[in-house]
Amino acid sequence: MSKANVTRRQRVRSTLQNASAFLKTFRRSKMGVLGLAIIVFFIALALLAGPLAPYPPKLMGAGQPFEVPSAEHWLGTDDVGEDLYSQLLYGTRVSLMVGFVAAFMSTIIGTMVGLISGYFGGKLDEFFMRVIDVLIIIPGIPLMLLLAAYLGPSIWNIIFILVFFGWTTIGRVVRSQTLALRELPFIESARASGAGDMRIMFTDLMPNLVGIIVPQAILSIVGAILGEAGLSFLGLGDPTNQSWGLMLYYAESYGAFLRSAWWWIIPPGLCITLVGIGFTFVGYALNDIFNPRLRRRGA
Amino acid sequence: MREFVLKRSVFMLITFLVVLCLNFILPRVMPGDPITHLMGDVRLPPAVRQSLIARFGMNKPVWEQFLAYLANTFRGDFGVSFSQYPKSVATILLERLPWTLFLLTTSVTLSTLLGIYLGVIGAWRHGSRIDVGIQATGLALWSMPIFWLGMLLLYGLGYVLGLFPMGGATSAVMSYPNTLEFVKDVLWHSTVPILTLTLGSYASNTLIMRGAMLEVLSEDYVLTAEAKGLGQNNVMWRHAGRNAMLPMVTVIALNLAGVVGGAVFTETVFSYPGVGLLIFNAIQAHDYPLLQGAFFVVAVTTIAANFFADLLYARLDPRIKY
């Protein structure tokens, strides 16, 4: 009883030590800290969209059509006088939500496929790798557009499509790491002591894969956010959940150019880019911390 | 090497068959009725609808539909467009394809050259301010939606400065006095779209070229070349750069699918009359036969380009093993 308590306490302490060592290393990465600051800022915007937004995002006639940015309307208004600052705030929610959910699901699927493929090898592995190869060669955007056109504009359809194409990178990376780990002595000894496949995969291999999965998962958020923006920009977005990409679609369709409404064109794209940079920086910083060999090769 | 080419041929054939089947299956498994999707639109006269249904065997069992589909596809018959009736899908695609190929080949060439150049410079002076600058620009462009980049360039260079046209591939004139004028007009219209696609796709080339170059720079033969007292340019380009370029062929091939996607957005922003804009217009008009045909043609072109890159790679690197 007391012995079990001691080991548990030790484990908790070593986890805490690991975490604080991790934080120390992370804080040293300028890129990582900057990226994290950007992400935290946008998550705060998304959470506080309700109280921060001066108008409901789709309130026509909140101002005159095509108003220049002013104290009243920080980012001006669109063709029917809707407040663009409010739209941008609510758009943050949609874009981030789609990015997180799609990346999360892609990560789960990619990890499973990569783990199973790398661990068992053989015909199954061959099959999954060919599937990934095919998905990489077929131009994704035209196929995504075709699917989205049939499925109709809904946020879940978009997420489904993004996941369908999004799991391949993580699948590949996890598979090659599993292949390398599989041959190491500690897996051998786990097998010798009678551990089953499931146990080896999830208790022995998985903790060693986290360092490679987490940075990839964060980078795949960028892909998902850009993907959603792209589908929305081509008119396949969900009109009831207006994202940054859909704002740009409306800007392009309803004469932002002709009216020289730069305030309608620049902010949504800038937000997408900044969020993308934020997640990319954090992804790269984590990769440097978790996989230091990759870093040293260059220097 | 022969084995490599053979294996790649088989793989490309499989990919082609996957596309062929996808194109058949999609309208049949998606919500709604396949006849409505492919030929049942009110924009087609009833007589045309009936003849299409007969031609594609739509009221026969699925396997007979598949045979009819195969026969029609290899004959180049993708049905009739809803939105541009009475034009056939194939006719429209043939009109549009050259413009897209022009945009793609020029921008892939430019972004490759730019990527190689900046990658070599960055690796040669790694850690320097130039290197950091190259990488930061690359990451920023990588995180940027290409259509927004296009909109900014169009707004700045076209609208504000008035240096370039606001869209289209040629001016609205009936004829040109001579070929030179035509070429000039085409180049003038395509400059900003090509710039957009190049900037949108050079980042990954640069990052990968830089990585490959860093690896090559640690090789003994580079040290030997430097020790022999060869000049910097000679070592940088003829000894290191050349060898670092090899993996680029594969990278370019793998990026092709992405560049094709970029072309859809770029053509839409610049109203450039290629297959990409056609896809956008087909989405807007719910013109499914056109959308299916465009997907098929784009996918087959990409597969062919990939295969071509494989052959090139096999020629360039005789050590290759599959």
Q: Which pLDDT value is given to residue B202?
A: 86
Instruction: Identify the residue whose tokens are 């830089």.
Output: B210
Which residues of chain B have a CB within 8 Å of the CB of A231? none
pLDDT above 80: residue A26: yes
Q: Which residue did the predictor score with more confidence, A258 or B74?
A: B74
Say if residue B126's pLDDT is above 60.
yes
| ipTM value for the complex | 0.88
Shortest distance between the Cα of A298 and any Cα of chain B, in A, equals 6
Give A23 to chain B, closest Cα distance, Å: 24
pLDDT tens digits, one per residue of B251-290: 888 788 889 999 999 999 999 999 999 999 999 888 888 9
Q: Which residue of B has its CA nearest to A298?
A: B214
> Which residue in chain B has the smallest CA separation from A274?
B143
Q: What is the pLDDT averaged over residues B188-198?
A: 94
At residue A24 the predicted structure's pLDDT band, cuts being 50, 70 and 90, is confident
Residue whose pair of structure tokens reads 């908790």 in the numeric block: A12
Cβ–Cβ gap B14/A130 under 8 Å: yes
CB contact under 8 A, A145 and B291: yes
Average pLDDT, chain B: 88
Question: Is the C-alpha dihedral spanning B100, B102, B108, B114 positive or negative?
Answer: negative
With beta carbons less than 8 A apart as the criterion, state whether A289 and A22 touch.
Answer: yes
Residue percentage of chain A with pLDDT more than 70: 96
Cβ distance A248 to B147 less than 8 Å, yes or no, reads: yes
Q: The pTM is what?
A: 0.90
The CA distance from A143 to the nearest CA of chain B, in Å, is 7
> Between A234, A273, A277, which is nearest B280 by CB?
A234
Whether residue B115 has pLDDT greater than 70: yes
Architecture of domain B93-316: Orthogonal Bundle (1.10)
Contact B152 A276 (CB under 8 A): no
φ, ψ (nearest 5 deg) of residue B205: -60, -45
A41 min Cα distance to partner chain B (Å): 17
The two structure tokens encoding residue B310: 């494989």
Cross-chain residue pair B31–A248, CB shorter than 8 Å: no
Domains of chain A: 28-294 (1.10.3720.10)
Q: Looking at chain B from residue 179 to 208, which residues have their Cβ under 8 Å from any Cβ of chain A?
A: none
Instruction: State the pLDDT confidence band at A297, using cuts at 50, 70 and 90.
Output: very low
- B131/chain A closest Cα distance in angstroms: 12
Return the number of CB contacts < 8 Å for A and B. Answer: 150
Q: How many other CB atoms are there within 10 angstroms of residue A160's CB atom?
A: 15
For chain B, what are the domain ranges?
A: 2-74, 93-316
Q: How many whole angstroms separate alpha carbon A77 and alpha carbon A86?
A: 10
Q: Which chain A residues have a beta carbon less than 8 Å from that of B11?
A: 130, 133
Higher pLDDT, A111 or B250: A111
Residues of chain B neighbouring A145 (CB-CB closer than 8 A): 264, 279, 283, 291, 295
Quick one: closest CA in B to A141, which residue? B261
Name the strand (E) or helix (H) holding B163. Answer: none
Question: B250, B262 in Cβ contact below 8 A?
Answer: no
Residue A209 has pLDDT above 50, yes or no: yes
Q: In 3-state terms, chain B is what percent helix, strand and coil (to 5)?
A: 75, 0, 25
> Residue B32: helix, strand or coil by DSSP?
coil
What is the structure's pLDDT at A5? 64
For residue range B80-102, list pLDDT tens digits in order.
Answer: 888 888 888 999 999 999 999 99
Mean per-residue pLDDT, A76-90: 90
Q: Is the pLDDT of residue A155 over 80?
A: yes
Query: Given pLDDT bands bounded at 50, 70 and 90, which one contains residue B220?
Result: confident
CA distance A211 to A161: 27
For residue A42, the distance in angstroms to the closest alpha carbon of chain B comes to 15
**CB-based burial label for A170 (10 Å; 0-12, 13-18, 19+):** buried
Q: How confident is the model at residue A3 (pLDDT cuts 50, 70, 90)?
A: low
> What whole-number distance in Å separates Cα of residue A49 and Cα of residue A42?
10
Residue in chain A closest to B15 (alpha carbons) equals A134
B37 touches chain A (CB under 8 A): yes
> pLDDT per residue over A259-278, tens digit each?
888 999 999 999 999 999 99
